[in-house]
């Protein structure tokens, strides 16, 4: 039948929320992937990425953690306002991540016992929080995420496996922040990996970003390498 998109409205604290289910409806349940967007929230680029992943045999749900209709644009001077609200209330963020995961598991194409999460930029912080909170996923992948820990305690041991794909020159996460994350994950007894890409900044998977002097922007090599690492990671956790 081919890959299809379905707009999905779901409830949660501060909702309603509008996500996008993406899957080939033919065949039985398969591993599910929650995809969490950057500071701009859900958008066409995320849906296209979801289709690429779904074509490999996964059920994908593009989560909405900001709320229905809350879609800032790149030229909006206050584009970070919804992200900032959640950065200031990580408990609320955790709750919204939980209901988004429930929406993925409710897709008829999803095997709810086999789920993972990918997050980009702010979404990278989100998937790390999912692991920290012990949400029911096999693993999480953070792409150029943000690493500051939430104010609530982590579960121990951290159950989901963790892959962090990191640009070494990322100004949002300098080496000391990356080392602090490694220490946190080690103390939490997590099964973790950090892949650091040299001469690479923030947003290295985003072809629409090009701010090289500020260490922000697309890197074809890091994008390709992190994609391969993430696909290998999914094969491992769902084996």
| pLDDT interval class at 139 (50, 70, 90) | very high
Whole-model pTM?
0.96
Gap between the Cα atoms of 151 and 165, Å rounded: 24
4-10 vs 17-23, strand pairing mode: antiparallel
205 touches 195 (CB < 8 A): no
Whether omega for the bond prior to residue 16 falls within 30 degrees of 0, making it cis, is: yes
Residue carrying the six token digits 């879609």: 71
Name the percent of the chain lying above pLDDT 70: 99
Q: Check residue 39 and give left, alpha or beta (phi > 0: left; psi -120 to 50: alpha).
A: alpha
Gap between the Cα atoms of 16 and 225, Å rounded: 36
Gap between the Cα atoms of 115 and 68, Å rounded: 24
Gap between the Cα atoms of 14 and 96, Å rounded: 9
pLDDT value at residue 211 = 77
pLDDT tens-place string over residues 83-124:
999 999 999 999 999 999 999 999 999 999 999 999 999 999
Residue carrying the six token digits 């090289």: 212
pLDDT value at residue 73 = 85
- Options 1.20.1740.10, 3.40.50.720, 3.50.30.20, 3.40.50.1820; CATH for 4-237 is 3.40.50.1820
Percent of the chain as helix, strand, coil, to the nearest 5: 35, 25, 40
Which letter does DSSP use for residue 123 in this model? H
pLDDT tens-place string over residues 30-40:
999 999 999 99
Gap between the Cα atoms of 191 and 143, Å rounded: 17
């Amino acid at each position: 039948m081919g890959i299809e998109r379905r707009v999905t409205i779901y409830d949660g604290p501060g909702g309603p929320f509008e996500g996008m289910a993406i899957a080939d409806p033919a065949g039985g349940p398969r591993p599910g992937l929650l995809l969490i967007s950057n500071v701009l929230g859900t958008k066409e680029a995320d849906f296209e990425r979801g289709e690429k992943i779904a074509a490999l045999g996964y059920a994908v749900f593009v989560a909405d953690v900001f709320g229905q209709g809350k879609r800032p644009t790149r030229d909006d001077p206050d584009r970070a306002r919804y992200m900032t609200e959640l950065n200031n209330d990580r408990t609320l963020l955790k709750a919204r991540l939980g209901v988004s995961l429930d929406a993925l598991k409710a897709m008829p194409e999803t095997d709810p016992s086999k789920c993972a999460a990918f997050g980009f930029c702010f979404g990278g912080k989100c998937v790390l929080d999912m692991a920290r909170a012990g949400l029911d996923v096999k693993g999480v992948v953070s792409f150029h995420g943000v690493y500051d820990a939430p104010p609530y305690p982590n579960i121990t041991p951290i159950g989901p496996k963790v892959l962090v794909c990191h640009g070494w020159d990322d100004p949002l996460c300098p080496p000391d922040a990356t080392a602090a994350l490694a220490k946190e994950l080690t103390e939490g007894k997590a099964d973790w990996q950090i892949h650091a890409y040299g001469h690479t900044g923030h947003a290295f998977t985003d072809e629409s970003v090009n701010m090289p002097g500020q260490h922000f922007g697309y890197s074809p090599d890091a994008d390709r390498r992190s994609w391969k690492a993430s696909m290998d990671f999914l094969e491992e956790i769902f084996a």
